[in-house]
A and B are shown apart, each in its own frame.
Chain A
Amino acid sequence: MTDATIAAVHDREAAAASRRHFVSRTIIYALLTIFAVIYLAPLLILVFNSFREQPEIAQNGLIAFPRSFQLKAWAEAWSTYCIGGTCEGMRRNFLNSLWMAVPATILSTLLGAMNGYVLSKWRFKGSEVLFTLMLLGVFMPGQIALMPWAFLLGKVGLTNSTYGLILIHVVQGISFTTLFCRNYYVSIPDDLIKAARIDGAGFWRIFRKIILPLSPPILIVTVIWQFTGIWNEYLFGVVFTSGREQPITAALVALTASGTNVRAYDVMSAAVLIGALPPLLVYFLGGKYFVRGLTQGAIK
Chain B
Amino acid sequence: MSTVPMDAGRNSASGAPGPTWRERLARISPILILAPSLAASFVYIFVFTIWTLYISLSNSSLLPSYGFIGLDNYVSLWSNRRWNIAYSNLFFFSAFYIVGAMGIGLLLAILIDQRVRGEAIWRTIFLYPLAVSFIVTGTVWSWLYNPTDGIQMLVRSLGWTHFNFALASDRSTAIYAIIITGIWQSSGFAMALFLAGLRSVDQDLIKAAQIDGASTFRTYRRVILPIISPIFLAVAVVQIQFAIKTFDLVAALTRGGPGISTTFPAIYVYDLMFQRGQIGEGAAAAMMMLAALAVVLVPYALFVVWRHRRESRP
Chain B binds chain A = yes
Instruction: Report which A residues bind B (CB closer than 8 A).
Output: 24, 28-29, 31-32, 35-36, 38-40, 42-43, 45-46, 57-58, 60-64, 111, 114-115, 117-119, 122-125, 130, 133-134, 136-137, 139-149, 151, 170-172, 174-175, 178, 194, 197-200, 202-204, 228, 231-235, 238-239, 249, 252-253, 256-257, 263, 265, 268, 272, 275-276, 279-280, 282-284, 287, 290-291, 294-295, 298-299
| Known contacts A115-B34, A142-B245, A252-B136; A234/B150 CB under 8 A | no
A130 touches B34 (CB 8 A): yes
B100 beta carbon closer than 8 Å to chain A: no
Task: Let me know if A203 and B134 touch, CB within 8 A.
Answer: no
Q: Which residues of A are found within 8 Å of B55, using beta-carbon distances?
A: 147
A147 and B279 contacting across the interface, CB-CB below 8 Å: yes
Q: Which residues of B contact A291 (CB under 8 A)?
A: 123, 127, 192
Partner of A136, one of B45, B255, B283: B45
What 0/1 pattern do residues 10 to 43 of B give for CB contact below 8 A with A?
1000000000000000100111011011101111
Which of B77-85, B91-99, B166-174, B269-277 forms part of the interface with chain A?
B269-277
Query: Which residues of B from 261 to 299 have beta carbons under 8 Å from A?
Result: 266, 269-270, 273-274, 279, 282-283, 285-287, 289-290, 293, 297
Question: Which of B66-74, B140-148, B219-227, B306-314 is near enough to bind chain A?
Answer: B140-148
Q: Is the interface of A mostly helix, strand, loop or mixed?
A: helix
Q: Tell me the minimal C-beta distance from A117 to chain B in angstroms.
A: 8
Inter-chain residue pair count (beta carbon < 8 A): 259
Please tell me if B139 contacts chain A, counting CB pairs below 8 Å.
Answer: yes
Residues of B within 8 A of A134 (CB): 37-38, 41, 45
Give which listed residue, A31, A117, A171, A295, contacts B111 with CB less than 8 A. A31
Task: Let me know if A202 and B7 touch, CB within 8 A.
Answer: yes
Give chain B's interface residue range (CB within 8 Å of chain A).
35 or more
Interface residues of B in 194-237 (CB under 8 A from A): 196, 216, 234-235
Q: Is the CB of A299 within 8 A of B193?
A: yes
From B266, which residue of chain A is reached at the shortest CB distance?
Answer: A143
Q: A123 near B1 (CB under 8 angstroms)?
A: yes
Contact of A175 among B8, B41, B151 (CB under 8 A): B41
A61 touches B153 (CB 8 A): yes
Indicate whether A118 sits within 8 Å of B135 (C-beta atoms), given known contacts A42-B141, A46-B140.
no
Q: A36-B126, A42-B144, A133-B45 are in contact. Are A148 and B52 (CB under 8 A)?
A: yes
